[in-house]
Structure 1
Amino acid sequence: MAKYKGIEVKDSVRQLLPHMPLIEEYREMLQSLQAVWDNLNLLGQLSGTTAEIGQTREAFASLTGDLLNNLAEQTLAKREQEMKARSQVVIDILVRNLFERTADIGFLSTDDAIRQFAAEPGDLWALQQRFQEYVRKYSVYEDLVLTDRNGRILARLQPDDRVTAIRDNWVREAVNTTDAYVESYAHSELFPEQGRSLIYAYRIKSERGETLGVLALCFRFADEMQRIFHGLALPDDPGVMVLLDGASQVISSSDPWQIPIGAELQLASGSLQRLRFAGRSYLAFASDTKGYQGYQGPGWRGLVMMPVAQAFDLHDDDTLDISEPALLASVMAGGRAFSEELRAIPLKAEAIQRDLSRAVWNGTVRQGTVSAAVNSAFSKILLREISRVGMSMREVFSRSIGNLQSTVLSSQLADSQFFAALAIDIMDRNLYERANDCRWWALDSTIRALLADSAAKGRRESLERVIGYINSLYTVYDNILLFDTEGRVQAVSNPDHGELVGQMLDAPWVDECLGLRDSQAYAVSRFDNSPLYGNRPTYVYLSAVRAPGNQQVVGGIAIVFDSAPQFSAMLNDALPREASGEPVAGSFALFIDGEARVIAASDTSYRPGQQLALLPELLRPDTNGCARLIALDGQVMAVGAAPSSGYREFKGQEDAYRNEVTALVFIPLGAYDANSRLSASAGEVAMRHTAFAADVAVREIATFHLGAHWLGLPVSSVIEAVELNGATTLANAPKQVYGAMIHRNETLPIYNLHAALGLPEPAENTGIRQQVVVVRGDDGKAFGILVDRLGEIMEVPESDIDDLSNIYVGIASVLASVVKTQPGSGQPMLVLLSVASMSEQLRGSGIAVAVDA
């Protein structure tokens, strides 16, 4: 622990507190109130008015420290979680993208047209047009380059007369490697003006296995990183997202003016750290990739850096709009969102408020019972001032505790929305690849030639050799089918589905595919049960295959997405994680369509096709997504929703394909109790002073509450109010006898007004801490009355008090009279109790006799 401006705080937040403006504001308010309270306490002790308020001084100081510490820790934890999640996504999204590139180079390096040109260079323009066809479908590439085995450029999508040969290491590596591809991020002579370029390369071999040259796919690295950064940026975000290479050097930055390319940042992964760079202090969080299907990428890391001076300016005044009180109360009662320490803070604040209110109430009662009170006028002013300070204190407590709760819950809600956005982004990026794959493979020379020639020898075997190799590279497909213009299957990549060959496809997408206008167009089935996928639901992506040398359609290619494991993996990758890396227990994620039907789920409790009934804004969120607290299957859930917005050209303005999909991520926060309520307020205790004419007889009333009922007693009959502690029930006692407790070393019988008046007892989950009003009986013996809350001390004219026997017949004898209220005042009716009646009932029960003995 350390001292910060007179308050004990934890070392972990001491240096950060000056940068947390909202917490500084609460600290100043609480310390100012504490100073005023100390002065009032001193005056109260000197005058003998309020000796009790000094007893809560230590509790107030302790709560101030607890409150500020926890608010600071939760504020820091919220930032850490944001930074951790974003740094992880920066690298994982990129690695997923690069995994697809490793498959692309494997496919293109077997392209017959490229192979033939490498063996015997011919029509350069025709090959460049072929390159253009590929890149039109995959805008992730800025160039395709074919070299001979020594680096002499044979063909290039973007010709540069200045560069006719290169000496890049990746050329030699691609010729000699035993791996399936070469991945290079270094300076390349292909792009002399760029510092480093990301290139995927592999050798081109003849049918005899002779190395003819090297093909290179040049990835648009800078463009892709800016897309990733833009998608993860927060509004008015002072932070910087960075990509580090294996030597901890910055290779991409969302703000190169703040963290430039080439800067070296040495820090460990997996924890929040303080980092000083260029004279500025930062919070930093770096993450290693989790990998994708065994591919770990080039050994890079994602990093988020936040200037300490601005790290806590974002969203510090978030407010939660929770329409159902039971949701928040249930979360506060238990579960993962709030620790025991956090749950104790509102209870401590309520106890302080209750103690202070009771001290003012008791002080006011004493002023009314001491006929010759010394400095009576001063004492009443002091009590009113203490009451005013108590109201200010309650307001500060309420605001700060509310902000603490908002910080914790808004963090959970933000997590759910972030992970939903991640899930849908992974889906969009993945399906972008699927829409492109079918069009790439429809360009394959062997496929085009064989589908155009129905009499070709070994046609099926040759076709299946090509698509079987493709399927071995692209493992996200269950099967690849080729069909002719009649819709008859000619070949399949998966031998397990060999029986499909020769069968007619009668799905509506067959005609749609065969009618596609050009090689840039594609078709997609609905997400429905398909006989091509064991009658399970999936997407089928299709492109028309055209004859060599012209645009005549000679058939189609259908790729059957292996949706069950692929969607499950996407959703599992988007689940919130514990520090151990395991998904949060009970969390799950869904993809749903525009009709709120489940497409896929990480939880087996939800089946594809199942209809969901949730809040409309979750089922069809706006483009920015949303998050809500809901009750689901006995749990309070933070639910985040994010709609599909596509990726690059996929679902873009020029893409005719539209498919409404939403990702939902559910995070459990605690068991739901519809009857749960937050702790009730201790209520305001004040003296209502009304000026009456000198000849008007007035009576001073001490009031209190039972549920919604407002009750009172003459101040002259009241001794004090105390906390209900250590009460014991008595065997065989009448219902109106609650039990007894020790008060001032004597046994005090307690009268149960709830039972006497037929009112329900307060439920335990309402948070009401009952108090005992100690009353002087008509025989001089003291007894207690169990009440829910103390009320105000007020003066009323005797003429405004009506005996209940004059109004109601048969009314419970414990009710003596009512105080008239002004019509239209909106105040409940104040009912005065009969001390004599309650005392008599206790005596009749035998309790008073036992006490006297």
Structure 2
Amino acid sequence: MRGTTPLPVDTFLPYMRDVVRCEQSLRELNLMWRMIEASAKMNCPVEAKTILPTMAATRAGFNRLEHELVHSLVGEKVGNVLDEIATKAQYVIDIVVRNLYERTADVGFLATDRELCAFVAGVHDNVDAIRYRLRAYRSKYTVYDEILLLDTAGNVLVQIDEASPIEGSTDPLIAETLAADGYVETFRATDLRPHKKQALVYSRRMLHPDTGVPVGVLCLCFHFEEEMAGIFRSHRDADERANMLLLDGDNRVIASADELWIPVGATVPVNRSAEPRLLVHGGREYLVRTLGTAGYQGYMGPPGWQGQVMIPVDVAFHGGVSNALSTLDPAIAEGLLSHARSFCPPLFEIMTAADTIRRVVWNGQVMTAGQRGELLKLKTILDQISETGMRSNELFSQSIRDLYETVLASSLRDAEFVSHLLVDLLDRNLYERSDDCRWWALTPELRTALAAEERDLETLENLTAILDYINRLYTVYTRIFVYDREGCIIASTHEMENGVSVVGTKVDAAVLSNVLALRSEQDYYVSPFERTPLYGGRPTYIYHAAIRDPQNDSVVVGGIGIVFDAQPEFEAMLRGALADKQGMTAMFVDRRGCVISSTDPSRPAGTQLDPDHDIDRKLLALANGSSASRILVHDGHYAIMGCTVSDGYREFKVSDGYREDVIALVYDSFGEVRERGGAVNREDAVIESDVTATGGIEYATFYIDGMLFAMPAAQVMEALPASEVSPVSMGGRAERVGVLALQRHGESRHFVWVFDLRHLMRGAPAQIEAGSQVIVVRHNGQDIGLLVDELHGVPEFRPSQIIPTPFAAAAEGLLVKQVIQANEGRLLVQALDVAQLFACLKDPALPTVLNLSDATHLNLMQPENETLENAV
């Protein structure tokens, strides 16, 4: 959530060269509007009296919009940067907390290991065997760089880091741990790790296996520096403009992506409330975001820890130039831009203002059509307004595109980053599962029981109790079970599944074969992600490790299977990474495009994505660790899609022989797809005029469905915004869309019916948008309004340019009987027959109209028997 502090535009503006250029252009245009208005007042005040109020209102509106546009551009750019660095700051702390949550479970389980407890209690003194066991643990859980066993006096009984030997410790954490029922989390300098400035230690007391009396302490030392370096390496921005930090509760840096820039131990300013302000550190101004954690499984991490990202303001807005819009299909680009109202209201107002200018000029040209004398002065003024309006419109259009490019570029990066985070979270989580199954397979009680020729009820109950204890500590599993060499399950947590006991059932033959073939205690096997009765018929991964004979490691006597609770765990990853991002969905899929997990209810786990519509086939073949993003149409919405292919974590999926690529997909919706009419290309529709020609006829031109139409300017009264049309609920013709109030100078107020000209011409209703206009047309003393898509101009054509259509002589009732050859025949303009139009509306029996775009006869909608006099 962005802060509530007012945006200090002048503070940020010097760092945004593109916005500065826009502001200068706006001021120049404002000056030009003032000059035109003054010229009209001096040269033709009487003739211009009908447009001067509109000009004044437009100029005043531009004064306000100039400020709001610059404010919006600056605000959007600052907001995008703050949002981007907030996402990264949130992920720094969330990744750390998720990782450390696993450590709290590890120390709780290992501290109850019977062999270790017996050694610490003095039941036996085989140091080499215990050191081997601890190293076996470390070889699976590679996140630890030291494991120590201490007695109650702090003497070191055994450790595995030979490079940092210690005999004992006087650290207060020993007494604290002995007095605690649970784990103790310590992060600071400690004599347990004398060569480190600070160490993260998880400790728990160990009890005598027979009496339950505290006999010592287990310390698991997390390899903090290595882990943070990996996080920063994976998630820092590629061009290293920003620094990622982990802070303690006193805002002191405890890990830095670039220690030469911001060293560990430095105290930095923080911004927890997303205020759009600059903070100074080391003489340099920064945009900063600081985020705490929402916790994971109830664990909140070390007290006060925060993720933070700092980016210097002088480089914050200098990212690579985006050309996302220019590379899109024009229809998609236009559709995206049509959503301008939703992301920047001032820009939407400017678009509306540009339409107002075009209408003012168009109405003025209609009013002066065929006139001479003083009205020619007004024509000159109108030409100036038109030219300045075009310049204004070009500037506004470019501003809209620039701002949208900023929004799209930020969204593309964000979608990629979120997808990268998702596969990182997934691989980190599943790494722990591969560790767990291998370590628990070494449990002495399991090995002894499975190696025995027979197992009595007490033995089986003891196995179940051990598995239950583990499952209570590690809640990410719905079931932990063990099976013998024949694959028969002999013990399991949550024994009943749909009213039937899983004990006595057999694991899949392919699974058993793979487990029996595992060569060492470092190897494991993962079943494919598929439906299984061990998970209620839902799809999941089951991690397996071989249980070996305690007297001969080369002999496999059975296996252990741990059923990952995939549905809630994967969904929690997806939703956690999306946080409160509105309009975003995410999913995990495999290389075949089969959904593993999804926040999209229409694509649950097991759904097969369509490579022709849901995802590009090329993305399914991306290299491991690669990311990509696209703008596309997804489920009827314009959307950004980001995707990343998993690349493993530490040795998991990297060097341990297991391969199971997962692709994270993130979709960010930008609004519903809008059926746009034919795209209007104003450059192609510029009509060249011959200033030496005389005796021409002036036509009012306009767009319908992207095509240019015309009607004699002498029959056109004015154009008004379609937003002023009042819909009516009473019955009538399907083409009639409502009524429009007219108030002309010297006339009383009256109403006219408005008809949808596109509906009349094409048989399909028009979509009324911000730029839609109503042209008021008069024939034989009667007025009607015609809804059109956009106004064009009031050019003059020579009679020789106006020719009949090939169909004109063959059919009665055609609305288009003539076509105008403009620009030496390169541009064809369809001329509407106004008399025929009124006749069609007056007599619904006249059946046909002609649209030269497809040269087919289209039937008019059959209305009720209503005359034009009644309609008007």
- Equivalent in the alignment of 2:858: none
Q: Could you say what secondary structure the match of 2:246 adopts?
A: strand
Contact 1:773 1:787 in 2 (8 A): no
Listed one character per residue, the Cα deviations across residues 463-507 of structure 1 (whole Å, up to 9, x for unaligned) are: 334333322222222222222322233333445579444544344
- Give the match for residue 249 of structure 1: 252
Specify whether residues 121 and 791 from structure 1 end up closer, same or farther in structure 2 by C-alpha distance, changes over 3 A only.
same
The match for 2:102 is 100
* Matched residue, 1:164: 167
SS at match of 2:743: strand
Which letter maps to 1:294? G
Distance 1:543 1:324, change over 3 A: farther
Cα displacement string for residues 540-594 of structure 1 (whole angstroms, at most 9, x for unaligned residues): 111112233543223222112222332333233233317xxxxx5x765433333
| Equivalent position SS for 1:552 | strand
CA RMSD of aligned residues (A): 4.3
In 1, Cα distance between the equivalents of 2:135 and 2:760? 87
Please list, as runs of the form range in 1=range in 2, the aligned pairs for 1:402-481 lying within 5 A after superposition: 402-408=401-407, 411=410, 414-455=413-454, 458-481=458-481
Q: Which residue of 2 aligns with 1:82?
A: 84
Match of 2:853 in 1: none
Determine helix, strand or coil for the equivalent of 2:291: strand
Q: Deviations over 1:101-125 (max 9, x none)?
A: 1111122223344334432675544
Distance 1:403 1:228, change over 3 A: same
SS in structure 1 at match of 2:827: coil
Equivalent residue runs for 1:212-227 within 5 Å:
212-227=215-230
Alpha-carbon distance, 1:277 to partner: 1.5
Matches within 5 A, 1:596-615: 596-602=593-599, 606-613=603-610, 614-615=613-614
Secondary structure, counterpart of 1:559 in structure 2: strand
Q: CA deviation at 1:212?
A: 3.5
What CA deviation, in whole Å up to 9, does each residue of 1:791-812 have, x standing for no partner?
A: 3444444433446799624454
Residue in structure 1 matched with residue 311 of structure 2 by the alignment: 306
- What SS does the aligned partner of 2:319 have? coil
One of 126, 131, 148 as aligned partner of 1:128 = 131
In structure 2, what is the Cα distance between the partners aligned to 1:345 and 1:680?
A: 20
Q: Distance in 2 between matches of 1:751 and 1:477?
A: 67
In structure 1, distance between residues paired with 2:759 and 2:205:
94
Structure 2 residue corresponding to 1:18, chosen from 6, 14, 20: 14
Query: Aligned pair in 2 of structure 1 residues 734, 662: CA closer, same or farther (>3 Å)?
Result: closer
1:526 to 1:270, Cα distance in 2 relative to 1, 3 A: farther
What's the secondary structure of 1:246's corresponding residue?
coil
- 8 A Cα contact 1:241 1:253, kept in partner: yes
Match of 1:40 in 2: 36
User: What TM-score, normalized by structure 1, do the two folds share?
Assistant: 0.84
Matches of 2:307 and 2:712, distance apart in 1: 71
Q: How does 1:641-720 map to 2 (within 5 A)?
A: 641-652=643-654, 654-666=655-667, 670=671, 672=672, 675=675, 688-690=688-690, 692=692, 698-707=696-705, 710-712=708-710
Q: 2:616 aligns to what?
A: 617
Q: Does the residue aligned with 1:30 lie in a helix, a strand or coil?
A: helix
Confirm or deny: 8 A CA contact 1:330 1:677 kept in the other structure: no
Opposite residue 703 of structure 1, the aligned amino acid is: T
Alpha carbons of structure 1 residues 822 and 629: separation in structure 2 relative to 1, 3 Å: closer
Are the structure 2 counterparts of residues 98 and 576 from structure 1 closer, same or farther at C-alpha, using a change threshold of 3 Å? closer
What is the CA deviation profile of residues 182-215 of structure 1, one whole-angstrom value per residue up to 9, with x for unaligned ones? 2111112233332100111223333222444322
| Range 30-39 or range 601-610, more displaced | 601-610
Match of 1:563?
Answer: 566
Aligned 8 A contact 2:735 2:759 in 1: yes
In the TM superposition, residue 11 of structure 1 has moved relative to its aligned partner by 4.1
Contact map agreement 1:617 1:626 (CA 8 A) in 2: no
Deviation digits for residues 27-50 of structure 1, max 9, x if unmatched? Answer: 222222222333333334433386
Aligned partner of 2:186 among 178, 184, 202: 184
CA gap of 1:484–1:706, structure 2 versus 1, over 3 A, is closer
Contact 1:153 1:164 in 2 (8 A): yes
CA distance in 1, matches of 2:529, 2:87: 30
C-alpha deviation, 1:523, in angstroms: 0.3
CA contact (8 A) 2:131 2:159 kept: yes
1:811–1:829: structure 2 CA closer, same or farther, 3 Å change rule?
farther
Q: Which of 214, 230, 234 is the matching residue for 1:231?
A: 234
Tell whether the 8 Å contact from 2:148 to 2:160 is kept in structure 1 after alignment: yes
2:294 corresponds to which residue? Answer: 290
Match 1:140 to one of 139, 143, 154: 143
- 1:581 aligns to what? none
* Residue identity matched to 2:530: D
- Any idea what the Cα deviations from partners look like across 1:124-169, whole Å, max 9, x if unmatched? 4444333332222222111222233222222221224763222222
Alpha-carbon distance in structure 2 between the residues aligned to 1:633 and 1:331: 18
Name the aligned partner's letter for residue 277 of structure 1.
H
Distance 1:194 1:700, change over 3 A: same
Between the aligned partners of 2:354 and 2:259, the Cα distance in structure 1 is 52
Q: Secondary structure at the match of 1:284?
A: strand
Q: Is the 8 A contact 1:684 1:792 kept in 2?
A: no
Give CA-to-partner distance per residue, 1:270-329, whole Å, 9 cap, x none. 433642211222222222211111211111111222222322223674634654847974
Contact 2:149–2:156 at 8 Å: present in 1 too? yes
Higher relative contact order (CA 8 A, sep 6+): 1
- Residue segments in structure 1 that go unaligned for 5+ positions in a row: 1-8, 579-583
Partners of 2:461 and 2:805 in 1: CA distance: 102
Partner Cα separation in structure 2 for residue 736 and residue 540 of structure 1: 63
Instruction: Give the C-alpha shift of residue 513 in structure 1.
Output: 0.8
Against the structure 1 CA distance between its residues 501 and 29, is the aligned structure 2 distance closer, same or farther, given a 3 Å change threshold?
Answer: same
- Name 2:156's counterpart in structure 1: 153
Other-structure match for 2:744: 743
Distance across 1 between alignment mates of 2:22 and 2:691: 38
Query: Residues 68 and 680 (structure 1 numbering): CA distance in 2 closer, same or farther, change over 3 Å?
Result: farther
How many Å separate the matches in 1 of 2:539 and 2:840? 77
Residues 451 and 70 (structure 1), Cα distance of their counterparts in 2 relative to 1, 3 Å cut: same
Q: Deviations over 1:333-379 (max 9, x none)?
A: 6xxx964x835733x333322332344445556666343458x6x87
Q: Residues 653-681 of structure 1, C-alpha deviation per residue, up to 9 Å, x if partnerless?
A: x23211132333455555x4653679979
Secondary structure, aligned partner of 1:191:
coil
C-alpha distance after superposition, 1:425-451 (max 9, x if no partner) = 222111100011111122333333333
What residue number does 1:279 align with? 283
Aligned-pair identity (%):
32
Output the CA distance in 1 between the equivalents of 2:470 and 2:199. 27
User: Which residue matches 1:548?
Assistant: 550
Kept in 1: contact 2:584–2:668 (CA 8 A) = yes
Could you say if the C-alpha distance between residues 274 and 171 of structure 1 is closer, same or farther in structure 2, counting changes exceeding 3 Å?
same
- Residues 803 and 474 of structure 1: CA distance in aligned 2, closer, same or farther (over 3 Å): closer
Q: Aligned letter for 2:298?
A: G
Q: Which letter does structure 2 place at the counterpart of 1:786?
A: L
Task: Tell me, in whole angstroms, the C-alpha distance in 2 between the residues paired with 1:602 and 1:369.
Answer: 64
Over residues 51-82 of structure 1, what are the superposed CA-to-partner deviations in whole Å (9 max), with x where a residue is unaligned?
A: 54444211222222232222322223222222
Q: Structure 2 vs 1, CA of residues 64 and 683 (structure 1 numbering), >3 Å: closer, same or farther? A: farther
Query: Residues 503 and 772 of structure 1: is their aligned pair in 2 closer, same or farther, counting only changes over 3 Å?
Result: closer
Q: Contact 1:594–1:661 (CA<8 Å) still a contact in 2?
A: yes
The answer to whether the 8 A contact 2:483-2:491 is kept is yes
How many positions carry a matched residue from both structures? 821
Q: Secondary structure at the match of 2:553?
A: coil
Name the aligned partner's letter for residue 566 of structure 1.
E
